[in-house]
Amino acid sequence: MSIIAQEVARRRTFAIISHPDAGKTTLTEKLLLFSGAIQLAGTVKGKKSGRHATSDWMEIEKQRGISVASSVMQFDYRDHIINLLDTPGHQDFSEDTYRVLTAVDSALMVIDAAKGVEDQTIKLLEVCRLRDTPIVTFMNKYDREVRDSLELLDEVENILKIQCAPITWPIGMGKTFRGVYHILRDEILLFDAGQDSAQQLVNEVISGIDNPRLDELFPLEIEQLRNEIELVQGASHPFNLEAFLSGKQTPVFFGSAINNFGVREILNALVDWSPAPAARHATKRDVEPTEGKFSGFVFKIQANMDPKHRDRIAFVRVCSGKFERGMKMKHLRLNRDIAANTVVTFMAHEREQVEEAFAGDIIGIPNHGNMQIGDTFSEGEALAFTGIPFFAPELFKTARIRNPLKIKQLQKGLQQLGEEGAVQVFKPLNGSDMVLGAVGVLQFEVVASRLNNEYGVEAVFESTSTATARWVSFKDNKQKAEFEKALQHQLSVDAGGNLAFLATSRVNLQLTQERWPDVVFHATREHA
Ligand code: GDP
């Protein structure tokens, strides 16, 4: 096997997804702890306050004094390299999340077992399904009174439409939580409450469900447990690797993240079962991860991660070949070579210079605004990765400022937030007021607070006459010129320089489409 193939084979890149408060942050911290990436852990206290601009991991950093650099993190576990991507924790759903999910090969879904399947989980799963992303499930908070376990599996199967294969099975819950039975290994892992001091990461294991020691330990419960296990084994699907890899079945684990319980089993599942980086679709052809030449695409841009440095990082998912520091790579959209001298990776403790990276890895390229979501980088070949979506926004506002002297800052801020994908920004061909488009209401709040904090601009948002938007493309320049002339008061350019038609109503859109049958109106835009 080539070096590149060996490196690809030991990589796992996954996103952690959940409804807010299910325990994503806690579990993330524990994954890092078990992998040895961080030494210190404990309870993440209280409600998160700055839920907007920062990643949950930055919250960990604040609360725990751990230096977590980013919403992307790399660590080693069992001679594998794991890339873990956080999904934004907003209550509101945002496009950001979709794009993070285009950069991973599998996902870890965290469910609060007291609550079951919640809204955000449903939406996230819909996105995973678009690409048949394999999903590992963690039922969290068994140290509390939770819902009936069989009922939870039923809910996942019926609402999320994915088959469940329990790998472990909980014994009791809340005050009588005893641990889990590992169905595949026929072992009982004992839960030891009060383990949240975090240093004790090993659980006592009893092998065999018929082990007499269990009768000694749990004389009152063991009979029922044995019956239940028999029932579960009869009623549920056995784990099937192929069904998991095709996104049809999810292995389910039970535990309590805050008590470090069940976390190691999750890590092992990711290493043993989750797929290594796969081929990716690009224009012209598919790109194999083991190809010799480097390629990757930008799926996320984050500005001002470090307010002291006012920096802007383009997060690139490596798709093939080997990245080496200092190498030249082609920035396809600008048709320009760039020298990758200062490229960073994100470890648990800090950013580090990347010396080399392979498919599945996420590298961060600092830049001053010339990189956009969807951009492809390659070692020469004119490839463009597809499938990084922008959605036609459904909500529109214009931004006004109280202090007219700040107009420059407003424009700069909106331009940058637009390029970052925090919100979509449309500059009318005629007129000066920029129109902001969003998929979720909270995006406006995020933009307002970031304009204030990062650009010193106090903006108010007002309603606009725009009801919906479509990107437009033409069969030739003549048609484009005619369309622009006829409808210039309704046309604008987005942050990526793409022409969009802003309709005042659905009917207006429909009539325009009928009048211009040869113009293509796009509800999603895939890449710049
Ligand atoms: P996130 O919003 O999904 O990132 O959730 P957090 O990790 O911030 O957790 C939300 C709340 O649930 C916090 O108060 C955690 O302390 C708590 N929590 C997380 N895991 C557990 C668990 O295993 N048991 C219990 N009882 N509480 C937990």
3-state secondary structure 188-213: EEECCCCCCCCCCCCCCEEECCCCHH
Q: In 3D, which of 13, 202, 201 has the Cα closest to residue 102?
A: 13
Q: Looking at the chain, how many residues does it have? A: 528
Q: Count of H helices and E strands in the chain?
A: 14, 33
Distance 152 CA to ligand 1 centre (A): 18
CA 383 to each of CA 131, 170, 296, 491: distance values in angstroms, whole numbers, following the listed order: 20, 48, 10, 30
Residues with CB under 6 A from ligand 1: 18, 20-26, 43-44, 56, 89, 140-141, 143-144, 256-259
User: Mutate which of 18, 19, 26 to test ligand 1's pocket (most atoms within 8 Å of Cβ)?
Assistant: 26
473: left (phi over 0), alpha (psi -120 to 50) or beta: beta
Provide ipTM, 2 decimals.
0.99
Give yes or no for residue 49 having a pLDDT over 90: no
Tell me the pLDDT tens digit for each residue of 469-478.
Answer: 999 999 999 9
**Residue 140, annotated ligand binder?**
yes
pLDDT, one tens digit per residue, over 188-200 is: 999 886 555 445 5
The pTM for the full model equals 0.81
More confidently predicted of 524 and 30: 30
pLDDT above 80 (res 37)? no
- Read off the amino acid at residue 437: G
User: What separation in Å is there between the alpha carbon of 222 and the centre of ligand 1?
Assistant: 29
Write the pLDDT tens digit of every residue in 297-314: 999 888 766 656 667 889
CA 11 / ligand 1 centre spacing (Å): 28
Separation of 127 CA from ligand 1 center, angstroms? 24
> CA angle at residue 185 from 181 to 189, to 5 degrees?
35
Residue 85 Cα to chain centre, angstroms: 6
Mind listing the pLDDT tens digit for each residue in 365-399? Answer: 988 778 888 899 999 888 888 877 777 788 999 98
Averaged pLDDT, 419-425:
84
Is 238 a residue whose pLDDT tops 70? yes
Distances (CA, A) of 186 to 25, 169, 180, 260: 30, 11, 10, 21
